[in-house]
Amino acid sequence: MTEEEIKKTIEIPEKITVREFALKLNKPVTELIGILMENGILASQNEMIDYETAAIVSEDLGVKTKLKKEGKEIEAITPDQVMKKEDKAKLIPRPPVVVVLGHVDHGKTQLLDTIRKTNVVAKEAGGITQRISAYQVEKNKKTITFIDTPGHEAFTAMRSRGTKIADIAILVIAADDGIKPQTKEAIKIIKAGGIPFIVAINKIDKPEADVEKVKKQLADLGYLPEDWSGKTICVPVSAKTGKGIDELLEMILLVADMEKDNIKANPEGEILGSIIESHVDPQEGAVSVALIQNGTLKIGDTVEVGRVYGKIKTMKDFKGESINKAVPSQPVKILGLKGSPTVGEILRIAHDISGLKKKIKKHRLDYHLKTPTQIKFKTKKQDEEEKEEEKKSASAGEKKSIVKPLNIVLKADTLGSLEAITEALNKIQHEDFKIEIVHRGLGNITEADVGKAEAVKGLLYGFNVKPTSSAENVAKGEEFQIKTFNIIYNLIDEVIKEAEKLLNPEILVETLGRVKILAVFRNENTYQIVGGKVTKGKIVSGAKAKVYREKQKMADGRITQLQINKKNVREATEGLECGMKFEGEPVVQVNDFIEVYQEKKIFKKLS
């Protein structure tokens, strides 16, 4: 590298704000924003762009770049690693953590509602739990911690994380409905988590309830109920009447006792917790709910959670009461973090704050998630190479299926919701289209979000958030539609509806009839006047046609005029003689057959 090239080389980290990038390029930030816009990227001065994007822009401006190497990444740690280091003699029993899984509408939340005697269902849009929540109950002077995971399949990611931090699972199956696909999915999650589970056969108060049928379905899946000489614990319950709830709680304590060697922690050991909820509150700022798994978290502790850190200023228990400390198996709401961590991340004491700040600084997201690279663009050379490649493919006669993009800008109220929606959208796959979440973030929909969606001709969706007045004005002026939802599966259904518009329709060919050519009256460059007798079905004016000679196809065309006895008619049926105007290559001869047909477009649906 020459001295001149070294002078023109800048170091850029993996992520950099537009403002910092402008400083490195020695250009006004407004000019750089304009350059990015020309290349299809809408980003404000405080938004992040990745190294690849910055390198391409720099190259176009005649500036070389190199990736700035950082120190070691923040050390990852798992609960298992922490517990292995603990002195076994100091481990004492802690309350069991129970996760509740099952098919939507089988009564999971109502069951938990009955247990804790509060009405959660009425507060949730559509009667379906939208966020993970956790709380504790007392039974026989023992504490049980429950994690209420959302019921719709869109929340697979949340449910999976719930299982990882749980000791026991409750699988809820409705006695009047039986095992459903989501029930099987929940069983897979439980099995992957390697934890014992109890089946709560709910809705036994219904007249159509059939407990034995549910047990048979379980047996068919390889889970033989205890009263059928198996090992699967089944407890019939009614969340509506409360019947069987005491038995269920007692069974949880029994299973916990059987698993007591695995349900221990050291309250004086290293602090370890898992984030089970995270969002930004307009009044409180960054709010997280953590489940403490080891050690004792106290007011004033400085903690790190992934790339987020902060000093614990306020802690509240599941009842909303202020507390000074949180012990193992206790869910706690915490305030004081400098941002919103990702659901499922590990909370621990921060020992090297200065080092942590340096690593976090380049990844600062201002309450926004790390997003996929915003909008990729190509250099002129790359674009020309791609076009040339496409020409070669076309000349070789290759038939390529065009994958249509469905670009989405997504905003949500919490990280948990955002992750759940993303997980669900990633499952919607088809060879005809590809869903691309070009930008996602937390908080209300802004004018910038509208611009991003418009730039990629995409869709703009919000979950439990609203557009700002400026965003509404811009959208109205551009005749751009913003759609918001408060029930996740409604949002998913809307995406499916839009995706179905991109599906290539299936062409169904229906043969209408055949006519044998008896005479050719006139030949022109683009059409012929012929006569014949209908030997099968019917000949319809306006129908598409194929010409056959001794079973060999000779040409394609269309019947544009049809006559019987020199009068124009709509159709001629089997046995009748008719005259026809055949538009197409003039190859028709006496004794040829013309077969007429129609094509129907069948618009596909996503399963």
- Residue 74 within any structural domain of the chain: no
Task: Among 500, 531, 563, give the residue marking a domain's end.
Answer: 500
* Cα four-point dihedral sign 15, 20, 24, 25: positive
pLDDT of the residue at 560? 95
Instruction: Say yes or no: 494 and 559 in one domain.
Output: no
Task: Among 14, 47, 67, give the residue marking a domain's end.
Answer: 67
Are 165 and 291 in contact by the 8 Å Cβ rule? The answer is yes
- Residue 85 within any structural domain of the chain: no
What mean pLDDT is predicted for residues 125-146?
Answer: 75
pLDDT of the residue at 120? 43
Residue 161 pLDDT class (50, 70, 90 cuts): very low
Instruction: Say yes or no: 163 and 227 in one domain.
Output: yes
Rounded to whole angstroms, how far apart are CA atoms 468 and 490? Answer: 22
Instruction: Say yes or no: 134 and 236 in one domain.
Output: yes
Instruction: Say yes or no: 118 and 173 in one domain.
Output: yes
pLDDT of the residue at 399? 42
Are 592 and 530 in contact by the 8 Å Cβ rule? The answer is no
**One-character DSSP codes across 164-178:** HT-SEEEEEEETTT-
pLDDT of the residue at 324? 95
Instruction: Say yes or no: 496 and 512 in one domain.
Output: no
Q: Is the pLDDT of residue 295 over 70?
A: yes
Nearest to 592 by CA among 536, 554, 542: 554
Please report, for the domain that includes residue 540, its CATH number: 2.40.30.10
- Higher pLDDT, residue 600 or 388: 600
pLDDT of the residue at 333? 93
Residue 367 pLDDT class (50, 70, 90 cuts): very low
- Residue 89 within any structural domain of the chain: no
pLDDT of the residue at 544? 95
Q: Is the pLDDT of residue 83 over 60?
A: yes
Please state the pTM of the whole predicted model: 0.57
Residue 281 has, within 13 A of its CA and on its CB side, a CA count of 14
Instruction: Say yes or no: 296 and 159 in one domain.
Output: no
Rounded to whole angstroms, how far apart are CA atoms 366 and 467? Answer: 19
445-497 pLDDT tens trace: 988 888 888 888 899 999 988 998 888 888 888 889 999 998 888 899 899 99
- Higher pLDDT, residue 370 or 341: 341
- Residue 368 within any structural domain of the chain: no
* pLDDT mean across residues, the chain: 82
Q: Is the pLDDT of residue 128 over 50?
A: no
Tokens of 77: 């740690």
22-66 pLDDT tens trace: 888 888 888 888 787 766 566 777 777 877 678 878 877 888 888
Task: Among 476, 500, 524, give the residue marking a domain's end.
Answer: 500
- Residue 40 within any structural domain of the chain: yes
pLDDT of the residue at 126? 55
Q: Is the pLDDT of residue 91 over 80?
A: yes
Are 280 and 287 in contact by the 8 Å Cβ rule? The answer is yes
pLDDT of the residue at 388? 62
Rounded to whole angstroms, how far apart are CA atoms 466 and 361? Answer: 29
Rounded to whole angstroms, how far apart are CA atoms 272 and 77? Answer: 10
The count of domains in the chain is: 5
Q: Is the pLDDT of residue 364 over 70?
A: no
Instruction: Say yes or no: 177 and 284 in one domain.
Output: no
Instruction: Say yes or no: 593 and 542 in one domain.
Output: yes
Rounded to whole angstroms, how far apart are CA atoms 397 and 394? Answer: 5
Q: Is the pLDDT of residue 360 over 80?
A: no
Are 239 and 125 in contact by the 8 Å Cβ rule? The answer is no
Q: Is the pLDDT of residue 5 over 50?
A: no
Q: Is the pLDDT of residue 257 over 90?
A: yes
Q: Is the pLDDT of residue 151 over 50?
A: no
Residue 329: C-alpha distances to residues 6, 98, 164, 270, 279 (Å): 56, 10, 13, 14, 21
- Higher pLDDT, residue 286 or 370: 286
pLDDT of the residue at 446? 87
Nearest to 318 by CA among 117, 101, 150, 133: 133
Q: In the chain, count H helices and then E strands.
A: 16, 32
User: CB-based burial of residue 53 (10 Å sphere; 0-12 exposed, 13-18 middle, 19+ buried)?
Assistant: buried
Please report, for the domain that includes residue 445, its CATH number: 3.40.50.10050
pLDDT of the residue at 125? 57
Rounded to whole angstroms, how far apart are CA atoms 137 and 471? Answer: 45
Q: Is the pLDDT of residue 376 over 70?
A: no
Residue 153 pLDDT class (50, 70, 90 cuts): very low
Instruction: Say yes or no: 165 and 302 in one domain.
Output: no
Write out the residue range of the structural domain in which residue 440 sits.
402-500
509-539 pLDDT tens trace: 899 999 999 999 999 999 999 999 999 999 9
Q: Is the pLDDT of residue 572 over 80?
A: yes
173-188 pLDDT tens trace: 999 999 988 888 888 8
**Mean pLDDT lowest for which of 58-72, 233-247, 391-405, 546-560?**
391-405
Q: Is the pLDDT of residue 557 over 50?
A: yes
Are 150 and 106 in contact by the 8 Å Cβ rule? The answer is no
Instruction: Say yes or no: 189 and 252 in one domain.
Output: yes
Q: Where are the beta strands (DSSP E) in 213-265?
A: 233-236, 264-265
Instruction: Say yes or no: 124 and 252 in one domain.
Output: yes
Phi-psi category of residue 457: left, alpha or beta, with phi > 0 → left and psi -120 to 50 → alpha: left
> Which helix (H) or strand (E) element contains residue 67?
strand 64-67
pLDDT of the residue at 171? 94
**Mean pLDDT lowest for which of 100-109, 321-330, 351-360?**
351-360
